[in-house]
């Protein structure tokens, strides 16, 4: 029987870590992820888990220690946000190219500058091409559930890639919500023990980690990472199906909300999906066939499945919580548009930017997106894209 509890997103991650009882957790505090290592350290001090906690002098060192521990055969993880991830940037690529199944609890926060401690997705989206699996959560329940599935995905023998479990800073990380926890014994049986085939401390199989790759091998190593990402797609679905059996909660690459018969769709990531669902419900009462595609898995990118889900829609608005400064919209826009184009899905796509640095995104904002997209589609009007939601004008200043 599930355990009903009221936890913040950070508390939910820390509780999942307690249940998993990993071998090593190096970490350095940074807002808004600081509570995660703090709570884990408390569990260790109270004798509830025997994880080796390593206090380090920086996030660069935290990822370095996680890499060393994982290479030695330990189940390792860390937590960070924003500039903390930026400081470990070099090591993100090292972890992925060395095929180390490290888990990272990333609490999304705007990257400097200017300095801002609130939510957007510039940190994780900046690392989208580093070779990590990326899974996002809408709410505290999903944060917890995603973390329980993380090691099962990353440690699979056909994957062996690091994984980021992302949640929106303060919006979910610090907000309390009712969630259902899985019993400790079920979690232990589901996650299992990490049993790597190759690791530095295996005296029966000497190996090197992080060797220099000459031109004859570097390209092949990247192709192998791509194959692992491809393999991760099926593993993600398989693990989700197993998780449903112990939790009753169903997961996939994305969630479709009133999408099947929709004329107008929004594609979005993270906590703002809940706001958009409310807008969809209100618009349906007005007679507008609105729908939502909430993306859960951004890496590997489920292009085929997204294109199929959006086929036949009159228009789609793609909402990014990060900028690329390409003047063409955010990273989600680029990926979705490429998926549609390459698969011959003729749907008019509109690019939106919202929520940067924690800017509010309301139900009324979401409804206005649908109104605008509907009007532009029916009239053939061209919008000045990307459209910035809630942007103050010079007149406002």
Distances (CA, A) of 235 to 133, 157, 165, 238: 12, 10, 16, 5
Residue 70 lies in a domain: yes
Q: Residue 230: CA atoms inside 13 Å, Cβ hemisphere, count?
A: 6
Residue 46 lies in a domain: yes
Q: What is the pLDDT of residue 113?
A: 85
Question: Quick one: DSSP state of residue 391?
Answer: P
CATH number at residue 43: 3.40.50.970
Last residue of a domain, one of 211, 231, 247: 247
Residue 394 lies in a domain: no
Which domain does 187 fall in, by range?
3-247
Residue 310 lies in a domain: yes
Q: What is the pLDDT of residue 271?
A: 98
- The DSSP H or E segment spanning 168 is strand 163-168
Cis before 113 (ω within 30): yes
Q: What is the pLDDT of residue 396?
A: 67
Residue 395 lies in a domain: no
Residue 397 lies in a domain: no
Q: Are residues 40 and 132 in the same domain?
A: yes
CATH number at residue 329: 3.40.50.920
Q: Are residues 281 and 243 in the same domain?
A: no
Residue 396 lies in a domain: no
Q: Are residues 239 and 290 in the same domain?
A: no
Q: Are residues 131 and 259 in the same domain?
A: no
Q: Are residues 372 and 232 in the same domain?
A: no
Tokens 């509890």 -> residue: 5
- The DSSP H or E segment spanning 299 is strand 297-299
Q: Are residues 309 and 174 in the same domain?
A: no
Q: Are residues 261 and 231 in the same domain?
A: no
Q: Are residues 47 and 64 in the same domain?
A: yes
Residue 339 lies in a domain: yes
Alpha helices in the chain (DSSP H): 9-20, 35-45, 59-71, 82-87, 89-97, 122-126, 140-154, 184-191, 215-247, 272-285, 303-310, 331-342, 363-379
Q: Are residues 231 and 264 in the same domain?
A: no
Three-state secondary-structure class, residue 282 = helix
Q: What is the pLDDT of residue 203?
A: 87
Q: What is the pLDDT of residue 276?
A: 98
Q: Are residues 283 and 378 in the same domain?
A: yes
Last residue of a domain, one of 217, 247, 277: 247
The residue length of the chain stands at: 397
Q: What is the DSSP string of 3-45?
A: EEEEE-HHHHHHHHHHHH--SEEEE---TTTTHHHHHHHHHHH
- Paired with 292 in beta bridges are 257, 266
The helix/strand count (H/E) of the chain reads as 13, 15
Query: Do the beta carbons of residue 350 and residue 317 sit within 8 Å?
Result: yes
Q: How many domains does the chain have?
A: 2
Query: Do the beta carbons of residue 62 and residue 37 sit within 8 Å?
Result: no
Can you give the pLDDT of all 397 residues of the chain as single tens digits? 689 999 999 999 999 999 999 999 999 999 999 999 999 999 999 999 999 999 999 999 999 999 999 999 999 999 999 999 999 999 999 999 999 999 999 999 999 989 999 999 999 999 999 999 999 999 999 999 999 999 999 999 999 999 999 999 999 999 999 999 999 999 999 999 999 998 998 888 888 888 899 999 999 999 999 999 999 999 999 999 999 999 999 999 999 999 999 999 999 999 999 999 999 999 999 999 999 999 999 999 999 999 999 999 999 999 999 999 999 999 999 999 999 999 999 999 999 999 999 999 999 999 999 999 999 999 999 999 999 999 997 666 5
Q: Are residues 118 and 212 in the same domain?
A: yes
Q: Are residues 211 and 161 in the same domain?
A: yes
Residue 319 has phi, psi (to 5 degrees) of -105, 120
Q: What is the pLDDT of residue 345?
A: 97
End-to-end Cα, the chain, rounded Å? 55
């Amino acid at each position: 029987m599930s355990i009903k509890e009221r936890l913040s997103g950070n508390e939910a991650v820390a509780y999942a870590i307690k249940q998993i009882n990993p071998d090593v957790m190096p970490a350095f505090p940074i807002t808004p992820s600081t509570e995660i290592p703090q709570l884990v350290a408390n569990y260790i001090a109270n004798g509830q888990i025997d994880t080796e906690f390593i206090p380090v002098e920086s996030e660069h060192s935290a990822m370095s220690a996680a890499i060393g521990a994982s290479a030695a055969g330990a189940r390792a993880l860390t937590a960070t946000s924003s500039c903390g991830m930026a400081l470990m940037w070099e090591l993100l690529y090292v972890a992925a190219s060395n095929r180390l199944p490290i888990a990272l609890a990333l609490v999304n926060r705007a990257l400097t500058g200017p300095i801002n401690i609130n939510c957007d997705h510039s940190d994780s989206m900046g690392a989208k091409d580093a070779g990590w699996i990326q899974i996002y959560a809408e709410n505290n329940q999903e944060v917890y559930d995603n973390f329980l599935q993380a090691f099962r995905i990353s440690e699979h023998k056909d994957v062996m890639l690091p994984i980021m479990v992302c949640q929106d800073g303060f919006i979910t990380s610090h907000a309390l919500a009712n969630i259902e926890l899985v019993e400790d014994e079920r979690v232990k049986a589901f996650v299992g023990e990490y049993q790597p085939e190759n690791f530095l401390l295996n005296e029966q199989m000497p190996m090197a980690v992080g060797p220099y790759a000459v031109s004859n091998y570097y390209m092949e190593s990247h192709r192998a990472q791509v194959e692992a990402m491809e393999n991760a797609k099926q593993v993600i679905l398989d693990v989700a199906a197993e998780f449903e059996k112990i939790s009753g909660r169903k997961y996939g690459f994305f969630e479709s909300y009133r999408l099947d018969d929709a004329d107008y769709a929004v594609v979005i990531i993270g906590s703002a999906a809940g706001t958009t669902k409310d807008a969809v419900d209100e618009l349906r009462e007005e007679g507008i066939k609105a729908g939502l595609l909430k993306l859960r898995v951004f890496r590997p990118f489920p292009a085929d499945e997204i294109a199929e889900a959006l086929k036949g829609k009159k228009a789609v608005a793609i909402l990014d919580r990060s900028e690329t400064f390409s003047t063409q919209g955010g990273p989600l826009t680029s990926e979705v548009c490429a998926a549609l184009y390459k698969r011959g899905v003729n749907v008019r796509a509109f690019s939106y930017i919202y929520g940067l640095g924690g800017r509010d995104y309301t139900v009324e904002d979401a409804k206005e997106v649908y109104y605008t997209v509907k009007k532009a589609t029916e009239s053939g009007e061209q919008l000045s894209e990307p459209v910035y939601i809630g942007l103050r004008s010079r007149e406002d200043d």
